[in-house]
Amino acid sequence: TAIGKSALQNDTITNDNTAIGKSALQNDVGGRNTAVGSQALGINTMGSSNTALGYTAGTSVTTANNVICIGAGVLGLNVSNSCFIGNISGVNEGGTISAVYINTDGQLGTQPPASSRRFKNEIKPMDQVSEAILSLKPVTFHYKSDTKGVPQFGLIAEEVAQVNPDLVVRDENGDIYTVRYDAVNAMLLNEFLKEHRKVEQQAREMQEQQATIAQQRKESQAKTDKLEATIAQQQKEMQAVIARLNEQAAQIQKVSIQLGVTKAAPRTVSNK
């Protein structure tokens, strides 16, 4: 189906193409393409099952398949199984911001993957499984297709697969495509909680040790006080004994002096 000047102009052998607009799908020899808008998918040649809506939409798609380009001037890229939508990037200046998710069937929605228990089985603690993230190597990089060279931060999927194959997503050909960052985040949370519990346990042990030390100090101080009291009492008793001895020595000295005087008294002899 072709509506517009030069629409599907060179398509002579393929089927199921729809072109509406000047030069839409002009060079197409692929099948099952839909182009609405002037020059939409205008230079597509071998690509199939592509959809473009808008002026010059999808004009960067030449041989790729299953590409969606929506919006005037949304050129897209010649990358199969990709989607490009105009006017959805940039700064949101207000209102509620909701993330958009896509499931394996290609359905878009604002709800993340279901987390309710009723959707899950074989539930068990993560335990040591999350320790795999400790071997990951975060990197900075630029996407080859990004002409602006915006700095990116993340992981290399091939390296992640070597650590844990369950942390990567593969494309329809079985090739490694991306990282399950949502799973990495859950593992990070588990490792954080494990470390938090260790810190709490260490804090409890430290408090117990401090309490034990305080009790030992208290008991030691009590023993010291008792010993000092005993020593003070003994010193007091010793001083009393010394005082009595000094008193006795003084009395003895006094008696000795008296005895000495008595012995030294002269005797008188009378001559009759």
Long-range contacts of the stretch 145-150 (C-beta < 8 A, 24+): 145/77, 145/79
Contacting residues for 163 by C-beta, under 8 A, at least 6 apart: 132, 133, 135, 136
Task: Assess whether 132 and 221 both reside in one domain.
Answer: yes
* β 108-109/139-141 pair status: unpaired
Residue 65 scores a pLDDT above 60: yes
- Report how many domains make up the chain: 2
Please check whether residues 137 and 220 belong to one and the same domain: yes
Task: Tell me the three state secondary structure of residue 52.
Answer: strand
Q: Is residue 27 part of a domain?
A: yes
Full domain range(s) for residue 138: 124-228
- Stretch 198-211: mean pLDDT: 95
pLDDT band with cut points at 50, 70 and 90 for residue 42:
very high
Question: Among candidates 62, 64, 67, 76, which has minimal Cα distance to 28?
Answer: 62
Please check the confidence at residue 191 and state whether its pLDDT lies above 70. yes
CATH of the domain at 156: 1.10.10
Report the chain's mean pLDDT, rounded to a whole number. 88
Q: 26, 11 in Cβ contact below 8 A?
A: no
- Residue 263 domain-assigned (yes or no): no
Distance CA 207, CA 191 (A): 24
Determine the average pLDDT of the residues in 57-86. 91
**pLDDT (0 to 100) of residue 113:** 74
Entry pTM: 0.55
DSSP state of 117: G
Residues 139 and 223 in one domain: yes
Residues 81 and 4 in one domain: yes
Would you say residue 99 lies in a domain? no
- Asked if residue 131 and residue 79 are part of one domain, the reply reads no
**187 to 70, 157, 192, 211: CA distances (angstroms):** 36, 16, 9, 36
Q: Are residues 80 and 130 in the same domain?
A: no
Q: Give the confidence band of 167 by pLDDT, cuts at 50, 70, 90.
A: very high
Of the three residues 228, 247, 262, the one that is the final residue of a domain is 228
Q: Are residues 135 and 224 in the same domain?
A: yes
pLDDT in the model for residue 114: 76
In whole angstroms, give the CA distance from residue 72 to residue 38. Answer: 9
Residue 155 lies in a domain: yes
Residue 12 in domain: yes
Residue 64 confidence (pLDDT): 94
Q: What does the pLDDT look like over 225-236, one tens digit per residue? A: 999 999 999 999
| Lowest model confidence (mean pLDDT) among 12-26, 63-77, 229-243, 246-260 | 246-260
The least confident of 1-10, 81-90, 148-157 is: 81-90
| Residue 217: band (very low, low, confident or very high) from pLDDT cuts 50, 70, 90 | very high
- List pLDDT tens digits, range 89-145: 665 655 666 777 776 666 667 777 778 899 899 999 999 999 999 999 999 999 988
Residue 134, in any domain of the structure: yes
Q: With 0-12 CB in 10 A as exposed, 13-18 as middle and 19+ as buried, what is 253?
A: exposed
* pLDDT of 240: 92
At 12 the pLDDT is 76
